[in-house]
Structure formats: structure tokens, C-alpha cells
Structure 1
């Protein structure tokens, strides 16, 4: 209906312009013709000779009627110099004053325009009659006025163009058909929704996108951002004017680019989509971006079997990862107690068996051996590691490693003094993650190289402001193609063996970078070597303040 209203308004405007042009043409053409007729009659010797006679009406009446009939005008009027009508096409006007505008006629000047003649609006031309006889040469004898009625609206439309009504009719028909086709196409594109429904849907979408705590990023097939909410911009550090730009233009690369772009629409994916019409099952991906641990879930947008783009949701798990680290310390304690309980149970079984068979001397010797081993282990750890939290962690990891047939040992060059509580927590996090990954790698069946026993060696060195942690293992090492991205992708060492992905190494890198350090991996003849460095003490606080 709105389109039809626009068409009608345009047609009315076109008709009005045509009428205005027709009226202008009528005034110009007819005005010139009437002026010429009036001048011709004013120069007539008959008119000049009768204006000063006592009864000119009888002589001038035939001339007036013949002029009106032959020239197809509406009125012909002849008046004397004082403006009194002497002869007219309407005899009832004789003796009445001539209708004039201004003093042009009485000043012996011609004039043309619209006047009300005999209750009818006419376009008239008034021309003075001047004497040419020697006795009245140049004298104003009277006025000749010839007029034509103003055309009606229908006459103006017909006069505008002989085909104007046909044109307007065709334009109206085309407008109706075009409006119907356009409305039908728009309805199909908007799924049959009315404008107010579309507006409501857009409002609901905005409320949903900006009301949720997760980030949302939508991409088209050219990897241009078509939609992103405020949380998504914050998590990905995108500029405000990022919509419409591609991932490459925004400087997004590496792991983040791979997750957002997805594997692409290969032939197998397109074939599966065309057969089922459904999205393949999406999985969560872990990405470390600018100090944040992000969990991203990407889904393809498919309509009628055709891919339109993708939508990725983002969740910030940085705080959750910190809580997991804190929970990990309690879990380590639980695992330690479980491993020790298992170890003590085996030892008690041995002691009970020796007593039952009467080997009392062997019982005493076995208990002394166990005590000596425990004291030597505790003494080795506490002498080299003065920080109680890290020492306790190593003791717990030693028991857990022994349960998995892996020997955890300290390097002779290990020396770590007592640390501040916040420094101790971060060092323990790095050591725990690196040891866990090393034990996982060394415990893989057949992974040991050159020896029969699997082992993990921990070395910690400290100076005034830096703690360096080196963890070696007897595992297979890290695949060369993963050496650069093992931390950014959030792999554990199990990833090299095709295991599941984790965030242990990613968190290790996050802690090291937050403290102005770094973590790296290298392969040796024995296995993998992870080296982590991080600042402690006053320097660490200065670095963290600069980062903030």
C-alpha cells in the first residue's frame, strides 16, 4: 500500500506539472493571438470612424459577431475613451463600464491578462484605438478587448497532451504490477514478515547479543565480520569499526584465525550438508589470546543446504583456569594421600607377611630401610628446595610418579630459596604443570630411550630476580612441527602422541609472560626439555604493574 501511495503521488505530481505546462502554453499562445486580433480590430477604419458617432452599436455589432465567430473567441468588447462599453458580443453589457486592471488602458497602452468578464474568468487582450485623421491624429478614441474563456481541468488535461491520460493510465497499471511484484519479492526475502515484525526481531537480536555474557562473532564466506557484540570485541581486542572488515585486515592470525575461519567447506563437508541439511557437530576449541584463555565454539550457518557463513561463541576461562590451578593444589594433596596410602598398604602387607612367617629380623631391617629411604628423599628435597610449598609439591609429584613407574629426581644443581607467597604460588603452578606433562610423556609404554626405567628430572635455579625451571623427561619428545605452537594451541605433551588437548602448557606460558618471562621446549637425545623463566620479588611486582 505504501508503494501504491508513492506511485499515486508521483502520478499526481506528473499531472500537476503537465497542467502547469499546459496553462503556461495556453497563456503564451492565446495571449499573443488575442493581442494580434485586438490590434487588428483597433486599426480597423470602421471602428475608428464609429467611436465618436452618436450610435455606433448598430454599425459595430456585425463586426463584433463576425470576429467572435471567425476567431473562436469568447467575447469581443469595444469601449470609448472613458471606458464605457459601446458594443459587445453580450448586448447586456452595453453601457456598462469596461473591466480594467490599473490605468494602462486609459493611458492608451495595451494590456493582457485574466479578468472576470460577465461572471466568467477569461484571458483578455486590451488594445487602445488611436485616431489617424488630421483632426484627431494620435488621440485615444477607445479600447478594443477580446477574450477567451479559461479552460477547465479536463480541457487542460486534454490540452496538455493528447495521450496524457493514456500515459497516466499505463503508468498506474505498471506501478500497481511493479508494487505487487516488489512486495512479493520482499516478502520472500524477509520470510513473509511485516516491517514491524522485522523491527521487533532486530530489537530482540540486539537485546540478546548485548545481554549475554558470552562473545559472539559472525563471519561471511569471505571471512568478513558481519556481526560482533561488545563482549566479543573486548575478548578479541577488536576496534569499534570492525564490522565489514576481514580477519586478515584486522591482523588476526595463527591459532585464532584457524578457529574462527574453520576448516572451510571442502567437498566432503558440502556433500554431507547437501544430504543431511544439518550442521556438523561443533566442538570447543581452546585459544590463548593476549593473556586470556578463550573457549571458542564455531558453527556453520546453513540455509537450504547452502553455507552462508559461520557464528562463533567465545567464553573467557581465564578466571576459571586460575580457580582450577587452586583446585589443582588440593587435588594434588588428595592424590598424594591416595598414593601414600597405597604405598603404606603395600608396606604393611610386607611387614605382616614377614611377621607371619617368623622373620622378625627381616621386619626390623625392612623398616630401617624404608625409614632411611624416606629420610634421604625428604632431606634431598628440603636441602635443595627451601620453599615449603614447592618442596611439598615435589614430594607429592614424586609419589604420584612412582605410582606410574616413573622416577622423579632433582638435579644436583637445584637451588631454590624461600619465596614470597604470591611468587611461590606461580612457581608451583609452573613446576606442577611441567612435571605433569613430563610424567605423562615418560609413562607412555615404550617411550623410554636408552634405559629401562622412565624418569623425569627437575632443575631449579634462582638469582636475585629470576627463577629458572628446567624439566627433562625420558619420553619421545615433542614433534618438531608442534614445537612452536605447543603452547599457543594449549596442547599437553600427550598431544604429540595423539592424545586429548589441554591447557596445562598454555597456562604455564600465561604465568611466565605475566611475570615477564617465557617458556620454551627443545628435544635432546634423551627426550624433551622444557625451560621456563619468570621474575620474582620486586622485579616481578614491577613487571606485573607495567603489564596492567
Structure 2
């Protein structure tokens, strides 16, 4: 039969440890009390026996009879009187040769006097502990001198040293009661403390708490998302490796406030919020972060917040590429819809026999198409950007929005990388402008592209309601479109636009005019994006 050893619970271990501490403290108090009692006994009794020995040594009878034959019978009453009156343990008299001539303990008469110091034999005094007849005594040895100062002998008076128990009880009449009371209070306090800690640890044992902490560390540092925890005072209490990397926090950041860590702007607003929040978009150091915040509340008490972060920079790039394919699909759908409408018109005219009208309608369509192509070819020489504007024109027409080019538009052929970034910026701005203008009367969107030796400026105007002044910066940091200015959130198109402009050393801004909103973006061309971004730092 195997007997398993039962392990103590956390409360049991704490109780035993606290009781052990109480016992150690009480033991230390007892030792200190004994030491103090011993020091007091040595000081007080040492002075008393020294004074008694000096008094006896100056007694005329003792000085007169110490050198006479058989002094024991004469001195015995004096010694016993001193013993009785002073309460000492022993009184002994020795001659100048160190031979005991009289003593309260008659068995040692005739023996040699034990000397505490060799100077006693030459007439010097001494006090200290001696072992006499198996008993340890605090003794004082004083020389007996004649009136002429001649050394006649020695008087020794001793008091028996108290036991440890006698010293402990003599230290204070209530010391035992005090120690007992302290033991009871300490034991009760230890039990209450153990119960409180048991409740605070939710009944978990140390091995369970250790396992939970290990699992938490493994989980926090093993997941691909960043995790940031704050207390109610906005101090950082926890952050995993991914969160530290995404927010560029120092290794010693735990325990410091967001302000002390240099967190500000939109990132500060999201992290410092009180309630729950989902899918907040923040552009931080060139990264597109999606953040979800959850408030931690227990028993009605707010403990702080936990925010998770996902890096969507690469995903945003994929969304941009996917948007190009989606735009192509929308273009084909819009053109199919436009061609279907034109074919319906031609079919209707043919069925009614209006063949001359069919010819005129087809010629009008051809002239409109040729005029648009010729104008685009004359002002926008980059084929990728021209194709983009052609596609956006078809989409705008389907939504009853007129897309037009400014007369000041002039763009030469660009490097493929420059053209791709320019198409991203222009496409996002035009899409947002079409969204804002659609639904209005005589809706229009105007695109202006201007180029110099080192940069390109894109200006997109629309006939929409404009952007609220308080959102002129939020539309880029929060990932709103112009529709979002009216209340609806729409992805991260403008956030990506600002990101591309910053990466190329430029900027994007929005203003309002009497007609609507004007978005102006500028970006460098003709050199790597990283170099352009480094130049603007």
C-alpha cells in the first residue's frame, strides 16, 4: 500500500510560517530579557557585594583578630551576621598567605582561597564570577589593611547567580503573561492573515499560481498579436514582445505612464479610453495598427484595460492590390452596363426604323470617346495613371457623377514604382470624392495632376458636402472617407493615402471651399521611397 504524503495548503504554510516567526520573536524577546536581567544583576549585585566586602574589611574586630591564633571562633558571629543581614550566599576571610581562616561554610576553613585575579594576593580588589563548592557565585574580594596600610588578608563575599528561569521571571513580574498574550495574538493574527491571503489568491495553491503564471507568459509571448495592459492611472502593467515592438516601447517600460513613455496623439486616445472599443485603426511609425480595447471590471471596481494590436501594414498592401483587381472588375461591370444601355438605345432606334438617328448616335458616342482619349493622352502621358482615370470615369458615370480633368493637368511618363504609388493615392482620393458627390444634383469630381522635377501634386475637388473642420486630420489618422465625415466609418483608404505620401516624403491635406472638399496630396518621384522618407525626417 502506497501512502501519499499530503502537501500543506497555502493557508497552512502561511500559518506555520507566521507561527514560526512569532515563536522566533518571542524567543528573541526572552533572550534579550535574560541578557538584560543578567546585566542588571551583575551591575547591581556586583556593587552591593563589593560594598559589603569593603565594609567587612574595615571592621576593627576583623582587622584585630585576623592575625591572631584561631580567629574562626571570634569572627564567626560577625560573618554570620553579615550573611543574615545582607542576604548573600557566602562570607569568607583569608589571611595574608591566602589560607581561609574563617567562613560561613566551615568545611572550607583551612583551604586555600580561590583568587579571581593574581593581584588579589598583593592587596588589590576584584569582583566577578567564581565557582565555590560547585556553585557559581558573583563574588567580590577586598584586601584587609592595617592602620599603617599593611596587607593583613582578604575578605570575600559572594551571592549565588540566579538560574535562567529566575532571571526571566525576575525581569518583569508579568513577563510570562505578556509573552503568553503575545503568542495568542500572534497566532490569531497569523490565522486571519492566512485566510485573507487564501481569499485574495482565489483559493489557488502556490503550484497552481506558478503554473498559471507560466502559462500566461507562454501565451502572451507566443501569440502573434500585441497585448498591452494599463491600470486605472494609465500605467503600463503588462506588454508582450509583439506589443513592445509595434509600439516601440523600451524594455523597462512596465510601471511607467503612457505620457512618460512618449505615447501621444491618436495612439494615446485609443489606449487611454475607458470603455470597450473594437477595430480602431491607428497609423504609428509607418505601420497600420488595428486595436481592440476591453475594460477590466471586477465587483464594480475598474482594474484597467487590455488592448490587443494587429499589424495590418502588409494586409493593407494586399488590400490595395486586391482593390486594383476589384476596380478592374467594377470597370468591366460599369462598361458592360454602359454598353448594354447603348445597345438598347440602338436596338430601339432600329426597331422603329430611325436608321439615320442610329448613325448619328453612334457617331456622337465615337466623338465623346475620342475626345476623352485624346485629352487624356495629351495631358496624362503615363499610361497606368491614364487607364486609372479612364476606369474611374466609367464608374463615376454609372453613379451619375461627372469626372473631369483640370485644364492645368500635366503629367509625363513616370517610373513604374512612382506610377503605382501615384495611382494608389489618386485612386483613393477619387473614390472618396465620388462617394461624397454621388446623390447630389449636377454632381462632379475634378482631378488635377501637376508635376515638377522632383514631385507630383494631386488635387481632387468634389461637389459634396465637404469635411467637418474637426475631422480635417482625423480622416487620415482614423481611416475615414469623406462619407465618414457624415457619420459612417469606411476602411482605411485615406490612411493608406497618407502612409504612401509620408513614405515618399510628402503630405496630404483637406480643405473646404464653397463647392465642396479639396484634397491635396504631394509626393516625391524619381528616387527610392525610403530615401525620400529619410530626407523629410
Deviations 1:149-200 (A, max 9, x none): 1110110012211121122222222222222333333333333345555455
Query: Which has the larger displacement, 495-504 or 54-63?
Result: 54-63
Deviations 1:231-290 (A, max 9, x none): 43443344555545544555544433332232x5xxxxxxxxxxxxxxx76422112233
Q: Note the C-alpha offset of 1:504.
A: 0.9
Are 1:174 and 2:189 matched, yes or no? no
Question: Kindly tell me: are residues 222 and 540 of structure 1, through their superposed partners in 2, closer, same or farther at Cα, counting changes over 3 Å?
Answer: closer
Change (3 A) 1:243 1:418: same
Q: Are 2:284 and 1:289 equivalent residues in the alignment?
A: yes
The residue number in structure 1 matching 2:454 is 465
The answer to whether the 8 Å contact 1:465/1:540 transfers is: no
Q: Deviations over 1:15-46 (max 9, x none)?
A: 21111111111111111111122222222333
Q: Alpha carbons of 1:540 and 1:318: their partners in 2 closer, same or farther (altered >3 Å)? A: closer
Residue of structure 2 aligned with 1:36, choices 38, 41, 51: 51
Counterpart of 2:374?
A: 379
Give CA deviations for 1:359-400 in whole Å, capped at 9, x if unaligned: 766666655554444333333323322212212212222222
* Whole-angstrom distance in 2 between the partners of 1:402 and 1:124: 123
Structure 1's 541 and 220: CA in aligned 2 closer, same or farther, altered over 3 A? Answer: closer
Gaps of 5+ in 1: 265-279
1:228 Cα deviation (Å)? 3.6
User: Partners of 1:525 and 1:36 in 2: how far apart?
Assistant: 115
SS at match of 2:514: coil
Pairwise CA distance, 1:332: 1.6
Contact 2:267/2:282 (8 A) holds in 1: yes
User: Could you say what secondary structure the match of 2:118 adopts?
Assistant: coil
Matches within 5 A, 1:96-115: 96-115=111-130
2:98 corresponds to 1:89: no
What is the DSSP-based 3-state SS (H/G/I as helix, E as strand, rest coil) of the residue aligned with 1:308? strand
Q: Which moved more, 1:344-353 or 1:110-119?
A: 344-353
1:417 to 412, 420, 424: 412
Distance 1:367 1:90 in 2: 151
Distance 1:44 1:199 in 2: 80
Most deviating of 111-120 and 51-60: 51-60
- Deviates most, 307-316 or 418-427: 307-316
Give the Å deviation of 1:460. Answer: 0.7
Residues 195-234 of structure 1 mapped to structure 2, 5 A cutoff: 197-234=208-245
1:478 aligned residue: 467
Give the alignment of 1:379-528 within 5 angstroms.
Answer: 379-443=374-438, 445=439, 447-448=440-441, 451=442, 454-528=443-517
TM-score by length of 2: 0.88
- Name the counterpart of 2:23: 8
Structure 1 residues 314-361: Cα deviation after superposition (integer angstroms, max 9, x where no partner): 222222212211222222222223333333444455556666677766
Tell me if structure 2 keeps the 8 A contact 1:465–1:539. Answer: no
2:143 is aligned with 1:154: no
Relative to structure 1, is the Cα distance of residues 64 and 200 closer, same or farther in structure 2, using a 3 angstrom cutoff? farther
Distance, in Å, in 2 between the alignment partners of 1:177 and 1:306 is 30
- C-alpha change, 1:283 and 1:538, in structure 2 (3 Å) is closer
Residue number in structure 2 paired with 1:47 = 62
- Residue of structure 1 equivalent to 2:518: 529
CA distance in 2 between partners of 1:335 and 1:144 (Å): 126
1:40-93 Cα shifts (integer Å, max 9, x gaps)? 222233333333334333333333333323322222222222222222333322
Q: Answer whether contact 2:292 2:309 (CA < 8 A) is retained.
A: yes
User: Would the aligned equivalents of 1:220 and 1:310 in 2 still touch at CA under 8 Å?
Assistant: yes
TM-score when scaled to structure 1? Answer: 0.87
- Report the Cα distance in structure 2 between the residues aligned to 1:198 and 1:98, rounded to whole angstroms: 71
CA distance in structure 2 between the partners assigned to 1:240 and 1:480 by the alignment: 39
How far apart are residue 203 of structure 1 and its match? 4.4
Give the secondary-structure state (helix, strand or coil) at the position aligned to 2:183.
helix
Matched, 1:340 2:335: yes
CA RMSD of aligned residues (A): 2.8
Alignment check: 8 A CA contact 2:503 2:530 kept = no
Alpha-carbon displacement from aligned partner over 1:105-133 (angstroms, at most 9, x marks no partner): 1111111100111111111111122234x
Q: Is the 8 A contact 1:410 1:458 kept in 2?
A: yes
Q: How does 1:51-70 map to 2 (within 5 A)?
A: 51-70=66-85
The SS at the match of 2:137 is strand
Which sections of structure 2, spanning at least 5 residues, go unmatched?
A: 1-15
Secondary structure of 1:11 counterpart: helix
How far did residue 292 of structure 1 move? 2.5
Matched, 1:307 2:318: no
C-alpha distance in 1 between matches for 2:97 and 2:215: 83
1:79 equivalent in structure 2: 94
